[in-house]
Amino acid sequence: MNVSLKSVMTAIAGIASAAVIATGALAANINGAGASFPYPIYAKWAGAYQSVSGVGLNYQSIGSGGGIAQIKAKTVTFGATDAPLKKAELDKFGLAQFPTVIGGVVPVVNVPGVAAGQLVLSGQVLADIFAGKIGRWDDAAIKALNPGLALPGKAISVVHRADASGTTFVFTTYLSRVSQDWSKSVGAATAVDWPVGIGAKGNEGVAGNVAQTSGSIGYVEFAYAKQNHLKHTRMINKDGKTVVPSADTFKAAASGADWAAAANNGFYVIIVDQPGANTWPITATTYILVYKQPADQATTKDVLKFFSWAYKNGGNAALSLDYVPLPEVATKAIEASWKQVQGSGF
């Protein structure tokens, strides 16, 4: 990383860390950490919630792996993760889990002469790029998907997450579903042994590296792509249709989820590579983790009140950042599940 890129990344990280802390400067009694995927919407909700409640939120965007580790270590009131824990692990640690919002992971590129939304990729070609099997932008497989688009004879620079990341879990789960070779050789997890590329910390880090590196490709939550003016690709989905990332295509991908039934397994819901002509193939929901028997019941109750308020009042803010609010059937099931949290008041 050169000096200029370091300074850019430091600035991005500083903005990301300070924004939510500032909202809680007067009465920051909710502390959480984890996924960078939902950071933009949690920041927006936090400011609005403090203005009506006086309660602030101190949320550290450190990645899903960090969020899981911190809640298990009991150093925060809630952890946040895009990689949901299975029921056995939740039960082992005495945790309750619930989703908050739906969003999309998007490939982002910095290719000379290619504008946002121009480049089309399939799941298999995307997997082959991140596996290092396709190493140039004028490769025949990419050109076949993009007739008429002038692709440079330039090497592809892959950028991936360096930290344990729920965004990586979502992205590699998708690659594992569309590519048998990827599934066998790399697999899906919050951290994998990447065949090629350079690592960056957080969605912020990947966005910064792609912005600064000509010929690069990475993956970020859609809000980061828009906020950093990155060029997202279009994707060919499970039905063979070419789609753009948007709240509508994310909503279409989540439309088949059975939220009421999911309450029985800790809301463990995976919505990548769903059928449907209008579905974005790399769609996910993001989660919160709290203790069922918290040491500080009052503060955990404040966490649940914050997200209950967000479900009822934060939909427009979510849509403004291209997240999709959870449907009412989901939020009702979630709030009913909070009865298992001691002192929740639900």
Q: Are residues 111 and 86 in the same domain?
A: no
- Tell how far CA 153 is from the center of its chain: 32
Query: In what order do the strands lie in the sheet containing 120-121?
Result: 120-121, 234-236, 242-243
Segments forming the whole domain that contains residue 39? 3-102+257-268+284-340
Q: Are residues 172 and 127 in the same domain?
A: yes
Helix, strand and coil in the chain, % to nearest 5: 45, 20, 35
> 182: closest CA among 251, 272, 243, 116?
272
Q: Are residues 150 and 210 in the same domain?
A: yes
What are the tens digits of pLDDT across the range 328-340?
Answer: 999 999 999 999 9
> 292: closest CA among 332, 235, 346?
346
What number is the average pLDDT over the span 244-268?
Answer: 93
Q: pLDDT band for 201, please (50, 70, 90 cuts).
A: very high
Q: Are residues 122 and 203 in the same domain?
A: yes
Q: Are residues 93 and 171 in the same domain?
A: no
What are the tens digits of pLDDT across the range 149-193?
Answer: 999 999 999 999 999 899 999 999 999 999 999 999 999 999 999
Q: Is residue 134 part of a domain?
A: yes
Q: Are residues 49 and 118 in the same domain?
A: no
- Residue 131 sits in a domain whose CATH number is 3.40.190.10
Percent of the chain surpassing pLDDT 90: 86
Q: What is the pTM of this model?
A: 0.88
The H helix count followed by the E strand count for the chain is: 15, 13
What number is the average pLDDT over the span 239-267?
Answer: 94
Q: Are residues 49 and 87 in the same domain?
A: yes
Q: Are residues 23 and 156 in the same domain?
A: no
Q: Are residues 109 and 199 in the same domain?
A: yes
255: three-class secondary structure by DSSP = coil
> CA 265, 269, 270, 273 torsion: positive or negative?
positive
Q: Are residues 97 and 109 in the same domain?
A: no
Into how many domains does the chain fold?
2
